Structure 1
Amino acid sequence: MKFSLALPLLFASVSATPICDDAQRSSFPKFCDLLDLASSNEASLADDLFALPWAAIQKELDVEAVEERRLEEGESALPIVVAHGMGDSCFNRGMKSIVDATSKKVGSYATCIPTGSTRIKDTINGFLLNMDASVDVFAEGVKADPNLADGFNAYGLSQGNNLIRGYIQKYHTQDGYPKVNTFMSICGINAGVGAFPNCNPEDHKVCAGLTEVLGDLAYNEFVQGILFQANYFRDPSKTDSASYKKHSQIAQWENEGDDVQESRNEGFGMTSKYVWVLGTEDTVVWPREGEVWGAMDPSDPFSTKLAYNETNWYKEDTFGLRKADEEGKHNWESFDGEHIQFTQAELMGWLEKYFM
């Protein structure tokens, strides 16, 4: 069966048609089991994904404790788009509380744009709708919201930053799509991940499926066409491999793959301000320095780390990171904690500093 980018949309409804053909099932048995579960029991899979300890915002913000900003006559504040992480959904109470607190703090319209029409579909699509396709759905959600028509600020949590970054690079150069003025990435998977930690395949069917394909099997058309996490899996020992350069979506986004597009640089340059937030104790993103554009050294891929300005994509400015640095657009923040486990006070402080 030839796999296309449109096929993940099959997961939007229950289908009795097997997702994998015989050859794919032979090569990826556990991953195909996961796809079968998505096809036959969406609700169960969505609940399993939300329950993963590293996946979602599991607590609600105290919206009542947020000091409301009342705009003076003639004053305005750009609307804000929030993008959730893997395992989460715009329809969950935790994300709703984050959006409400953001709106109240900044004194502007705020919204979370899902990639699925329900909690179940939005959660599953964070895994089984690939990164490029997810950006396309996200972009149509932005375009359809009249409150965002004149531009907006945005911040993401974990994987949600890939949606915003992808939108900036692909849709800023297209007519009819509003621009992101300030982008704040909190624990973003910006430089990809070289491992998928804290996910025991013996304990969870989802982890078994991910472990099977996030390795030597990650860089092929079938897996890259489905799995969001495979799209930003960046094995530091394989960045010169033909399969990585040909099939990896993150390789194309960094303009280090076979598909180099100058429009990605142009789109990146249209954002006025970037804020990169690092979780100093993060064990979910490896290396955690990738949240602020660091990477492992390809010549010593599992021991030596490169700062953002020592990487090839900075030195050769493959997608616009160095130019943005030279223009003073980068801002660097951190918090002492595990993946997206910042405090409410820290989030409100960043919003006040960069969005007000």
Structure 2
Amino acid sequence: MSLSRTLILLLLIGLLVLRYIWWKPTAGGTNPDVLPTVLWHGMGDSCCVPLSLGAIMKLIVEETKGGYVRSMEIGGNPVIDWQSGFFIHPNEQVEYVCKQLLLDERLAKGYNAIGFSQGGQFLRAVAQRCPTPPMRTLVTLGGQHQGVFGLPMCLTLSNSACEYISRLLNSVAYSEMTQRNLVQATYWHDPIMENHYRLGSTFLADINNELYLNEFYIENLHKLKKFVMVKFLNDTIVQPKESQWFQFYTSGQDKVIQPLNESKVFQDLRLMKMEKEGKLVFLGVEGDHLAISKAWFIKNIVPLLLEK
């Protein structure tokens, strides 16, 4: 057997070991008095790695004394699940997740949801597009609800390199091919060329009601008991970090952040109604992107999962 075939065989065996030993998309389920929790991972992650979402699943089961937890695995295997963070269009992923949630009888009476980074806006799309089974509380950890405009850790590059790459991305982000093949392009939000963004974005502009007012989206979003947005105050990945609180640059420039209640999306999703009802919750945590401690999670997130 050639070396390459041996390596492929070892990889396949390794994936099978991961899948059947510790790659478990569901956990808990012995406590029927607690609403189930659904998780959705971010870019470069997957549903069940023990040092990542697998640890979060275990923690939730422990703190809810056996509550049911499901971490969404896109495509049904570890390889596709990881690739989905980069190469499977969010609309396809959301449709897949909606079908999986509907088939899970343990979610029929409702569930809480926690999205990590881009998984946050994907779960919001689930809430808006798929009201059955009902999502009760949505928690987004570092979700980019108004998109991103900038390169992660750009200061590690020279200014000229940053500017060049940004210009390059700006020129191709809204092409049909880029939108179809790169997940991050679907929530790339150019505040200087807003029309290009609205007409070219094949995901974010739609769920933010920036193309036309979709009353179905508004109605479903408002069914949430709470919409909790967590911003990482020292975030070097999400630009601008205020997008995690549904804010963004004032249109026409990329320096000044517009207050949420003055933004178009605040009107288009009628978030003022949710704000008046006390459904919008904004939490801030010191640290870089997704850098949360076990103690912080237990203190701030677990109580939301225990609410009746």
TM-score > 0.5 by shorter chain: yes
Q: Could you list the per-position Cα deviations for residues 157-191 of structure 1 after superposition, in whole angstroms to 9, with x for gaps in the alignment?
A: 1011122101011111xxxx201100111111111
Separation of aligned partners in 2, 1:251 and 1:121: 26
8 Å CA contact retained: 1:91, 1:118: no
Match of 2:245 in 1: 292
Match of 1:53 in 2: none
Give the number of the structure whose residues are more often helix, by fraction. 2
8 Å CA contact retained: 1:142, 1:148: yes
Letter in 2 for 1:166: A
User: Runs of 4 or more off by more than 6 Å in structure 1?
Assistant: 199-202, 210-213
Equivalent pairs counted in the alignment come to 273
What is the CA-CA distance between 1:213 and the residue it aligns to? 6.6
Instruction: Tell me, yes or no, if structure 1 residue 186 matches structure 2 residue 144.
Output: no
- The structure-2 alpha-carbon separation of the partners of 1:212 and 1:96, relative to structure 1 and needing over 3 Å to count, comes to farther
Give percent identity, aligned residues only: 26
What is the CA-CA distance between 1:212 and the residue it aligns to? 8.8
Match of 1:160 in 2: 119
Match of 2:54 in 1: 96
Unaligned runs of 5+ in 2: 1-10, 12-27, 158-164
What is the CA-CA distance between 1:117 and the residue it aligns to? 1.5
What is the CA-CA distance between 1:199 and the residue it aligns to? 7.2
Secondary structure of 1:216 counterpart: helix
Letter in 2 for 1:228: V
Matches within 5 A, 1:146-295: 146-172=105-131, 177-198=132-153, 214-241=169-196, 244-257=198-211, 259-295=212-248
Secondary structure of 1:333 counterpart: strand
What is the CA-CA distance between 1:348 and the residue it aligns to? 1.1
Letter in 1 for 2:61: S
- Backbone CA RMSD of aligned residues: 2.7
8 Å CA contact retained: 2:111, 2:137: yes
8 Å CA contact retained: 2:188, 2:201: no
Separation of aligned partners in 2, 1:289 and 1:312: 15
Separation of aligned partners in 1, 2:175 and 2:225: 36
What is the CA-CA distance between 1:338 and the residue it aligns to? 0.1
Letter in 2 for 1:320: R
What is the CA-CA distance between 1:214 and the residue it aligns to? 3.2
Unaligned runs of 5+ in 1: 1-42, 44-67, 203-209
Match of 2:295 in 1: 345
Instruction: Tell me, yes or no, if structure 1 residue 323 matches structure 2 residue 273.
Output: yes
Specify which of 297, 302, 306 is matched with residue 258 of structure 2: 306
**TM-score of the superposed pair, with normalisation by structure 2:** 0.81
8 Å CA contact retained: 1:181, 1:271: yes
Match of 2:7 in 1: none
What is the CA-CA distance between 1:247 and the residue it aligns to? 4.0
Specify which of 68, 77, 92 is matched with residue 118 of structure 1: 77
8 Å CA contact retained: 1:92, 1:119: no
